[in-house]
Structure 1
Amino acid sequence: MTEALLYVGGRLRAAADGGAVPLHDPATGEAAGSAALATESDVDDALAAVARGFDAWRRSAPEERARVLTGAAALLRGRAEDVARAITAEQGKPLGEARAEIEQSAGYFDWFAREAVRDLGRAWGEGDREFTVERRPIGPVAAFTAWNFPASLPARKMAPAVAAGCSILVKPAEEAPSAAIAMAQCLVEAGLPGDAVAVVTGDAPSIAAQVIGSRVIRKITLTGSIPVGRELVRLSAEHLQPLSLELGGHAPVIVLPGADIASAARTLAGAKFRNAGQVCISPTRFFVPEADAEAFAAAFAETAAALTVGPGDAEGVEVGPLANARRLAAVESLVADLRERGARVLTGGHRLDGPGWFYAPTVVADVPEDARMLTEEPFGPVAPVLPYKNLDEAVARANAVEQGLAAYIFGPEDAAREVAERLDVGMIGVNSTALAVAEAPFGGVKSSGYGREGGTEGIGEYTVAVYTQVRKEGS
């Protein structure tokens, strides 16, 4: 059971007034503990802590930052089972996926440990003058994360911030706070000053307004929805803090002529229904040549229908419940809209009987262009198969949404590379859906946001370039 605790100043504590909100196991709807509701004074304490923490941590040597991150990765791996089980209880995903998420999070710590000692500056001379450009830590960071990946989303922000020499205040989704707190504890136990990381939960709008309105915060990073991203941009206007925003996607898949239809359908079904479709880079619109569309849809639906759905901690489960009642209602609404507009449900299309927030893996065909599904990110286990006449049409339809996070292409590699050049997204998978790796930049274009996490680009988001010119005295 999750305890209602904050992490401030290197220690766990309850909210100042004892306030808490109940948590529910998505598989049963039953109590899974509670999350603390931080008061204004709690947030003030967290802000004061990260201000002190930055003054201390900014002076740390790159080698020390690397040691802390490597040590935290090892500690997290040692606690992987406990943290994974907490994720499954709070968020619902299958335990195997939760374990993989912990390993991915530890991998971010390891990657940015190596980035911490990379020299990002440069120096040169010209006559009697010397020029240097340093990358210095930007300052205390405010990080806001969503509930769908309770460990890896905070890890992608904590790791580069610590590597750069910043302190960080994390506001995870109150539905699934345990992983963020566990990672903060690992960092401090590995040697990070206790004031350099804080984790607070509670009312997101009020915490965001207070944190961003503070002069302490020098950088904002969010993984969340487009409306929330717009609100944080508005809030940041007062103090002009820079932002990194990952605001979700609506990833097209273009299956090319000549693709192995059966293989593509199996691979894409596995990717689509991971985490019950609650993945920002989940494939969501499946464009298939007209001649192959029925075969693809049949293979996709057959694979989807065979998936084992159930509680995330049960043996052999491949698809868990949706994370909360809001998501279940949203998915039901999208499928109702599809039916009303004449779409054909090939498999699924209904809530599963029993307790919890389960929805059957769903594949639909004959989807009209005015269906909400084609413009709204589904964030659930629903997949539309969409025939196309030619590649120009497929590319135009793929690009015809406000989101531009990820896209996928399946088929012959040379043709896939040509299509990839025409897609308005930040990440592209060709015959692969495994895009989220520590070594590569993660982020999108258009309304999917700006800034990058991961890769050599990731640490740069937490630094500022300082240029110094020195002229030799007496010259």
Structure 2
Amino acid sequence: MKREQIGLYRNFGLYIDGEWRQSRTLATREVIDPSTEEIVGLIPAADESDLDDALQSATYGLAAWRATSPWDRAMVLRRVSSVIRERAEDIATLMTAETGKPLAESRGETQAAADQFEWYAEETKRIYGQTIEGRTSDVRMQVRYEPVGVVAAFSAWNFPALLPARKIAAALGAGCSVIVKPASEAPGSCMALVQACHDAGLPGGVLNLVTGDSSLISRHLIASPAVRKVTLTGSTEVGKSILRLAADGIKKVSMELGGHAPVVVFDDADPQWAAETVARAKFRNCGQVCISPSRFFVHERIYEPFCEAFARFAAALAIGPGSDASSEVGPLANARGLRHAEALVADALSRGARLLAGGKRPEAHRRGYFFEPTVLADVPSDARIMRDEPFVPIAPITRFSEFDEAIEAANSVPFGLAGYVFSSSLRTSTLAAEALECGMVGVNEMLLACAEAPFGGMKESGMGREGGSLGIRDYLEAKYIRTRLV
């Protein structure tokens, strides 16, 4: 297949042993722009032989990279961060072209991806061991941390640069080699990160990228004895499947899975400020955010003004392709998401919910996977949107009267990724934050994700943490050494 046929991805492909190439079979997959439903490019579909090449490359890369000093690894990672920042506009433009998200959001995500490499450039020098005093004077005991080995990293499409950056930067900082599989819906942003690593001087084989059929790639990579760590950002159902595959080889696993974040707004909160704050976060990336606020429990005393303010904000948002500077809400990622949004609204309305804003495809955008920012009030607890992870721009609101009632409802789903509390009382907000069964809680705050803080969930929202000083630990193994002096 000729290079010019690849469209948006003409300079990329599979990245194995420091080189971009096509699949051995020349098989490809289409990538669709969700704003136009048009093909923006073709990417290689790797087969087993391509995956074996990547495994061999990562095995050789591991041997060299784990022997590289932490200071030298840090210099490479810092250069990667600088290269990403230098190319931020190009990467953001590519991201918007394949995801449809507003360009301002793509710019912000690109900088956040660079932050990950900058953070782990420092953390790689701070992998501290431990000395334990022996019971007798001739015994020495120590714990050292070593890279776990080859990492198979699987990432999602909703944040196509930040999500793989969290995995790649932490793994490289720990001294591991990586085979990353970006989402087929939006692979270009990850490819651009890999190119930045290449241009920053990362040795060949240390980082490899494969694209194609997710089931084939996950089964083949995880079955290999070369892979010792698996990391996934994806749905809970996919996570369960990956865990089953990893169990056969007793692989080290970290999972950042689905969420259904509750927002509890107490009666001492400012209803208009709280509504606008959560609405701004709710409709970011068209609601396709794992920590997106997605169930709203509002005290009955401020319920109506909160709903009114939320609906006004939603109705005023500008919908359109991410490449349009005036757009505030882009499209859903695919037709499946659009059908899901329509079904959730229909189900809620059939159960007695009130439609305050949105609820349908916008008339001005009948092409592309656009859906209006939607606000539903009086949503009953048995509505699907109160139980299933939505991943759509729909905000279901319900009321409560007592503290315990709100906490019980917030904790009633199997997810536990993020939660939010709004209150001007330190006592109320502290008790609520501690009572929520979530890995992350924002108090009068919606911006949880940053390079220096741990990101991850409880219950069926996953295991392990990404980001912060904890993030690198998921790519390390503790080795205990006991020496007797003779």
TM normalised by structure 1 equals 0.98
Separation in 2, partners of 1:462, 1:222? 13
Separation in 1, partners of 2:9, 2:141? 53
Following TM superposition, by how much is the alpha carbon of 1:43 offset from its aligned partner in structure 2, in angstroms? 0.8
Following TM superposition, by how much is the alpha carbon of 1:179 offset from its aligned partner in structure 2, in angstroms? 1.3
Following TM superposition, by how much is the alpha carbon of 1:413 offset from its aligned partner in structure 2, in angstroms? 4.2
Specify which of 395, 399, 402 is matched with residue 390 of structure 1: 402
Tell me the amino acid that sits aligned with residue 88 of structure 2.
Answer: A
Deviations 1:4-36 (A, max 9, x none): 711111111111111111111111111211221
Specify which of 326, 345, 348 is matched with residue 335 of structure 1: 345
Counterpart residue number, 2:362? 352
Q: Which runs of 5+ in 1 are unaligned?
A: none
SS class of match (2:404): helix
Counterpart residue number, 1:150? 160
Separation in 2, partners of 1:46, 1:68? 21
Are residue 39 (structure 1) and residue 47 (structure 2) matched? Answer: yes
SS class of match (2:263): strand
Separation in 2, partners of 1:464, 1:363? 47
Are residue 325 (structure 1) and residue 335 (structure 2) matched? Answer: yes
Counterpart residue number, 2:4? none
Counterpart residue number, 1:370? 382
Tell me the amino acid that sits aligned with residue 109 of structure 2.
Answer: E
Counterpart residue number, 1:49? 57
Q: Is the 8 A contact 2:374 2:393 kept in 1?
A: yes
Q: Is the 8 A contact 2:31 2:41 kept in 1?
A: yes
Q: Is the 8 A contact 1:269 1:304 kept in 2?
A: yes
Tell me the amino acid that sits aligned with residue 444 of structure 2.
Answer: N
Deviations 1:344-363 (A, max 9, x none): 11000001232111000000
Are residue 116 (structure 1) and residue 129 (structure 2) matched? Answer: no
Residues 188 and 128 (structure 1 numbering): CA distance in 2 closer, same or farther, change over 3 Å?
A: same
Separation in 1, partners of 2:197, 2:400? 50
Counterpart residue number, 1:10? 18
Q: Is the 8 A contact 2:268 2:425 kept in 1?
A: no
Tell me the amino acid that sits aligned with residue 379 of structure 2.
Answer: V
Are residue 205 (structure 1) and residue 218 (structure 2) matched? Answer: no
| Map 1:66-215 → 2, pairs under 5 A | 66-126=74-134, 127-215=137-225
Specify which of 312, 322, 330 is matched with residue 302 of structure 1: 312
Separation in 1, partners of 2:241, 2:133? 45
SS class of match (1:291): helix
Off by >4 Å, runs of 4+ in structure 1: none
Separation in 1, partners of 2:42, 2:89? 20
Separation in 2, partners of 1:402, 1:310? 34
Tell me the amino acid that sits aligned with residue 224 of structure 1.
Answer: G
Following TM superposition, by how much is the alpha carbon of 1:125 offset from its aligned partner in structure 2, in angstroms? 4.0
Q: Which runs of 5+ in 2 are unaligned?
A: 1-6
Following TM superposition, by how much is the alpha carbon of 1:386 offset from its aligned partner in structure 2, in angstroms? 0.8
Q: Is the 8 A contact 2:239 2:257 kept in 1?
A: yes
Counterpart residue number, 1:253? 263
Separation in 2, partners of 1:369, 1:106? 41
TM normalised by structure 2 equals 0.96
Tell me the amino acid that sits aligned with residue 432 of structure 1.
Answer: E
Are residue 417 (structure 1) and residue 430 (structure 2) matched? Answer: yes
Are residue 403 (structure 1) and residue 415 (structure 2) matched? Answer: yes
Separation in 1, partners of 2:425, 2:58? 48
Tell me the amino acid that sits aligned with residue 86 of structure 1.
Answer: L
Separation in 2, partners of 1:208, 1:142? 8
Counterpart residue number, 1:428? 441
Q: Percent identity between the aligned chains?
A: 50
Deviations 1:325-378 (A, max 9, x none): 111111111111112222111000001232111000000012122100000011
Tell me the amino acid that sits aligned with residue 116 of structure 1.
Answer: T
Q: Is the 8 A contact 2:102 2:325 kept in 1?
A: no
Q: Number of matched residues?
A: 473
Separation in 2, partners of 1:58, 1:413? 50
